[in-house]
Homo-oligomer: A and B are copies of this chain.
Amino acid sequence: MAWKPSEREARGYHHGNLREALIQAARELIAEKGPAGFTFADAARSAGVSAAAPYRHFRDREALMADVAREGFQRFEAMLAAGWAGGKPDPITAFHNVGKAYLTFARTEPAYYAAMFESGLAPDVTKELRASADRAFAVLRQAADTLVALLPQARRPPALMMSLHVWSMAHGIASLFGRGDAGRRSLPMSAEELLESEMLIYMQGLGFPQKV
């Protein structure tokens, strides 16, 4: 009775990298059925191991979710930083690119995005989670620092406030219209166009010129 000899042969008794495999499985399940749509046992099944195996790597389901979110924030940070591109070609264009990167991430990585923002996870269940989230926000914050420095000192808004404003715009649009999932609202324009125009008007209100 050779019980699934191929699988066992393929990976042996030990999985080799179960931790990452579980995170990957969780991502796929979240993408399929939402952040509440999987159980610890489901993740184990998807990874091809017994239901007890995950306990060697994660205390419980929430710990697994927290690690998915942490990984997500790391990639998010990288994506926002790539959008900013050190302020090239000019700070204002680069700022808009950060906004685009935000929406691109939400659309191309809905599973990470859901784990990060819609899983009901407290931002500081873990020191590491909180830290990675802060690092991602810091990209936005630092971009805002650069931008306000372009304005005459008398009319500089607080950079923290400005970064919170832009974060709320991007997050609002991503949450409401950002994902391709069937159920979303239809729009007369794309989420990207919507955010672009919103940021444009906002920055006009702060007295930025359209271009540098």
Contacts and interface: CB of A to CB of B under 8 A. Distances in A.
Contacts of A182: 122
Interface in A160-181: 160-161, 164-165, 167-173, 175-177, 181
Interface stretch (A7-15, A67-75, A202-210): A202-210
Interface stretch (A46-54, A81-89, A187-195): A187-195
A142 interface: no
Main secondary structure of the interface of A (DSSP, over half): helix
Contacts of A177: 164, 168
Interface residues of A, number: 47
A201 interface: yes
A138 to B, nearest CB: 13
B168 A176 contact: yes
A184 interface: yes
A198 B73 CA distance: 25
- Oligomer copy total: 2
Contacts of A118: 118, 120
A177 B165 CA distance: 11
A205 B195 CA distance: 14
Nearest to A195: B168
21 contacts: A36-B120, A37-B120, A117-B175, A118-B118, A122-B183, A123-B185, A124-B183, A157-B201, A161-B188, A161-B189, A161-B194, A164-B194, A165-B198, A168-B176, A168-B198, A169-B172, A172-B173, A172-B175, A198-B202, A200-B205, A202-B202
